[in-house]
Amino acid sequence: MKIPKEIISVLNQEKAFLIATHINPDGDAIGSALALSSALESLGKEVHVYNKDRVPEFYRFMPGHKRFRRGMKNALIKKPVLILLDCNSPERAALEQYSFRKSVVIDHHETERDFGDIRWVVPSAAATGLMIFYLLKAMGITSTADISTNLYTAIAGDTGTFRYNNTSPEVLTAGAELIKTGANPALIAECLYEQWARNRFDLLVMTLNNLEIKNDVAVIHITKDMFCKTDTIPEDTESFSNFPRMIKSVKISALFRDIGDGCWKASLRSKGDVNVAKIAELYGGGGHRNAAGFKVRGSLQSVKEQFLRAAKKLAGN
């Protein structure tokens, strides 16, 4: 992976940085930010790490997660350079009200925006964490156990721990190196997949009980009542929409979650070439080929029926 020389220059020359990542941060956003902040601090830089949202509970095993600040207190005093990670526009990071004298974007999402004085956007990279892995190597920064754990978690998160179709020889080779420098793959996997609260598991089972499959499209739903009965919150439904994908015939899987006022939030997942972002766009939502989402108003029954009609056309292709 070719790293722009300007990025290395800026990181070496500047003294203060604000690292920011997208709202609702995932493992890749959190791990990339924490790894880069540790690396820059090892060079004697002052680094602040910002996210509008809190770090979800299941990522709180990541070393240094408490560094994230949800506000800008003291962060802007030294006029830091902004480093935007795992996203490429200030809006995605809830930064639209701030301005920076210099900004760097490091991201692997496809983009149409051109924010950033220095932009390093590589859509073919499996994870932003993989880009940071190569960046630190190019800068000659030794990966500590903490950096390795954060980068391994970032890469694991965005590749489904080496199960998605972005899993390449480069991804596994980086994983091997990160284990050598201190990442514990089994512990990270246990933290990512085996740390569910009992009530979250109960909500999952309750949700899977209402699975319907029509024309290779799976639909599940969560009502307010189900949240109440299990004493759970929306954050607990992370990854639920993946489970129906286990079924061979399922090409598209959708979770409808009651968000109040007669509205539902849909989380879509698909297999292979089926592009659920296309369905999401019909509803004014968006996302990626295999993971997208939208909001819709209506009764559960009518919302589901309308969705199944839209999805049928796509899955059939």
**262 neighbors 268 (Cβ within 8 angstroms):** no
Amino acid identity for residue 160 in this structure: G
- Touching a second copy, residues 112-171 (CB under 8 A): 160-171
**Shortest distance, CB of residue 217 to a second copy, whole angstroms?**
13
Q: How far apart are CA 116 and CA 88, in angstroms?
A: 8
Nearest Cα neighbor of 84 from 4, 138, 19 is 19
User: Toward a second copy, which CB reaches closer, 201 or 229?
Assistant: 201
Helix (H, G, I), strand (E, B) or coil at 48: strand
Q: Residues 242, 243, 247, 253: what is their CA dihedral angle, to the nearest 10 degrees?
A: -50
Pick one of 25, 63, 175, 287: the residue that binds a second copy (CB under 8 A): 175
User: Toward a second copy, which CB reaches closer, 125 or 171?
Assistant: 171
Q: Residues 96, 99, 103, 108: what is their CA dihedral angle, to the nearest 10 degrees?
A: 0
* Residue 163: other Cβ atoms inside 10 A: 9
User: Toward a second copy, which CB reaches closer, 48 or 65?
Assistant: 65
Q: How far apart are CA 280 and CA 272, in angstroms?
A: 17
Which residues sit opposite 50 in a β-bridge? 20, 69
User: Toward a second copy, which CB reaches closer, 77 or 172?
Assistant: 172
User: Toward a second copy, which CB reaches closer, 171 or 219?
Assistant: 171
- Touching a second copy, residues 185-214 (CB under 8 A): 185-186, 189-190, 193-198, 201, 205, 208-209, 211, 213
* Count of chain residues binding a second copy (CB under 8 A): 43
Instruction: Give, in degrees to the nearest 5, the angle at Cα 59 between 55 and 64.
Output: 75
**Shortest distance, CB of residue 156 to a second copy, whole angstroms?**
9
**Shortest distance, CB of residue 154 to a second copy, whole angstroms?**
15
The site map against a second copy for 212-251 (x = CB under 8 A) is -x------------------------------xxxxxx--
Q: How far apart are CA 311 and CA 305, in angstroms?
A: 10
Pick one of 54, 180, 297, 313: the residue that binds a second copy (CB under 8 A): 180
User: Toward a second copy, which CB reaches closer, 111 or 167?
Assistant: 167
Report the interface residues with a second copy, using CB under 8 A. Answer: 160-173, 175-177, 179-180, 185-186, 189-190, 193-198, 201, 205, 208-209, 211, 213, 244-249, 271-272
